[in-house]
Structures are given as C-alpha cells and as structure tokens.
Amino acid sequence: MSLWRNKEIKRFAVAVSVLSTVLAIIGFSSSGDAGILVLITAFLLCGAFFAFTAYRYKQIRKLSDYLRRICSGEHFLDIRDNVEGELSILKNEIYKVTLMLSEYNKKLQQEKLRLSEHMADISHQLKTPITSMMVMVDLLGNEDLPPEKRREFTARISSQLKRIEWLVSSLLKMARLDAGVVKMKRERVKVRTLIENALKPLLIPMEVKGITCTVTGQDETLTCDLQWTTEAIINILKNCIEHSPENGKIEIAAQDNPLYFEIRISDNGPGISKEDLPHIFTRFYRGKNASPDSVGIGLAMAKSIIKEQNGDITVESREGRGTTFFIRLYKAVV
C-alpha cells in the first residue's frame, strides 16, 4: 500500500501500537472489560486517523500528477476549488504559479521571435555595405585602375566601414536597453550642457547644409542621465538635419512644469506623411522620404532611452509644415 511508504506513517503506527499495548495491559490488569474497551477505542481512533490520512495523501498525489502534467506542457490545467482549507489554498497558489509560468513562457517565445526578426534585420542591413565593399575591393585589385578611381573607391570603402561601425554600435546599445542592463543615472543637468553636447558632433553636417539652430530655455535644469539623454537628442537632431532643406532652421525649446520637463525640437522640413507618422519610432522602419543611408534605428533608440527614464517622445507633423518632436521626462511614475 502506497500509504506505508511514508516514514511518518510507519513511525506513527509503531508509536500507537506500543501505546495501545501498554494501555491495554493496564486496562486488563484492572478488569477484562476495561482492557477490551481500551483496545476498541485504540482501534477506532487509529482507523479514523488512517482513513483521513489516506484521503489527504490521495489529494496530494493528485496535486503531484497535476504538477507532472504541467511540467510536460499542459499549462492550462485548472486545479482551483472553492473549499476552505490549507489544501485548497495550496491548489489555488499552484494554479497562480502555473499561470505566471505560462505568461513567462509566452513572453520568452515572443522574445525569441523578436530576436530572430532583429537578427534578420541586422543581417539585411549589413549585407548591402559588405557586398558593396567586396565589389570595390575587387576593382581595386585591377593594376590598370586610374589613381583618381582608386582614391574614390578607397573613400567609399572607408565610408561604408564607418557606417557598419555606427550600425553595430547602435545595435549593441539597443540590445543593452532591451536587456534592461542599462542603469540610468538621475543627475541634475543644465539644459545648456545637454544641448551643447548633442550639437557638437552635428555642427559640420549643419554647416554643410547651412542649417541654423536656435535654443530657448537653456538656463533650465532637469533630472536625467546626461550621456544617454544626449544620445537620444543626437538621434532626433540627426533626423531633423536629414529632412531639413538647404539653409533650413531647427528650433530647440526647453520648458519645465510641475508634471514633466519638456524639450521640444522642431524643423522646417517637408514633414512626415500620415502613413509614416504612426511608425517612425518602429525599429528598422524607413519612411517614404528616408535617405538612402537611413536604417531606421535612430528614433527607435531615442524612444527606448527616454522611456527607460520614465519619459516619452511624441511627434507632430504635417506635410509641408515641418516636424516637432516632444521629449517629456515625467517627475513621477506614470
């Protein structure tokens, strides 16, 4: 009988037998009826105890069977019951854990699918510049190639290598953000410092296109991670520069209020079409006005960085009337 494989049952049986024997001896030493009464009482109590114990162990065996089935993949088994008692509480708790594991498993599968899609996107983005470089390397192997062509191909290879370096660096940053290993600092930062840091690497492209930039509210102070927020603003400014016309204009305005700190970045470019507007923060999305060199990760990374700091980025745009990005860093958890 499976009940007897439990050590505590065997020990209890031995203890009850010894105790019943002692009590029966004492009872028979008094009178025969007393001894028989002791034996009957001990027998009935032991029988009732073993009957209830067998029932409890049967319920525990059912729970074990449920757990085995859940481990084999049946995550939707409903073992709840509404009867009062510790056993029912245990069943309900097991059911909750099962649901939690099921949700975790779903998320894991979604993460695997997303990782697979990202790998496919990355492979696609790297394939074009690598193929281009291989062709140019073959051409450079021609000893009769004119010197000016040789210089041109070398410059193109250098440009493609820089693009690959930027792409890999950006993807690594996004992977760190997705994995949640980036710990954002909360430091008091002057808007002037933040904007100057963001504009420094973009001054030459702005000068080449003759773009002017005006900044207002730069004496304000906000709480953020200076390095990562600078990265987010650089990516938004790059987008604005890319879509601004020759001699265009970019405006940056900072404003503080009791709910959030807002940085507004506007350009006077051609604007974003209604079809592209809902997708511009989607990773690897390229709108119809995207430049040939665009890979569609700058704005996605900016959004991830700001969201990681309890903030959000929204955009307003009308075709022919420019685009405005709103960066909001909330002062309380929303």
- Write out pLDDT tens, residues 50-98: 888 888 888 888 888 888 887 777 766 777 777 777 878 888 888 888 8
Residue 253 has pLDDT above 60, yes or no: yes
- Write out pLDDT tens, residues 310-322: 999 999 998 888 9
- Calpha distance 241→211 (Å, rounded): 8
- Calpha distance 76→99 (Å, rounded): 8
- Calpha distance 157→136 (Å, rounded): 7
**pTM, rounded to two decimals:** 0.64
Contacts with 235 (C-beta within 8 Å, 6 or more apart), sequence order: 298, 299, 301, 302
The pLDDT of residue 1 is: 54
Q: Considering the chain, what percentage of its residues have pLDDT values greater than 90?
A: 28
- Write out pLDDT tens, residues 8-44: 888 888 888 888 888 888 888 888 888 888 888 888 9
pLDDT band at 163 (very low <50, low <70, confident <90, very high): confident
Residue 293 has pLDDT above 70, yes or no: no
Residue 334 has pLDDT above 60, yes or no: no
What values do phi and psi take at 80, rounded to 5?
-70, 150
264, β-bridge pairs: 253, 326
Looking at residues 196-203, what average pLDDT do you find?
92
- Across 123-136, b (16+ Cβ under 10 Å) vs e yields eebbeebeeebeeb
132, β-bridge pairs: none
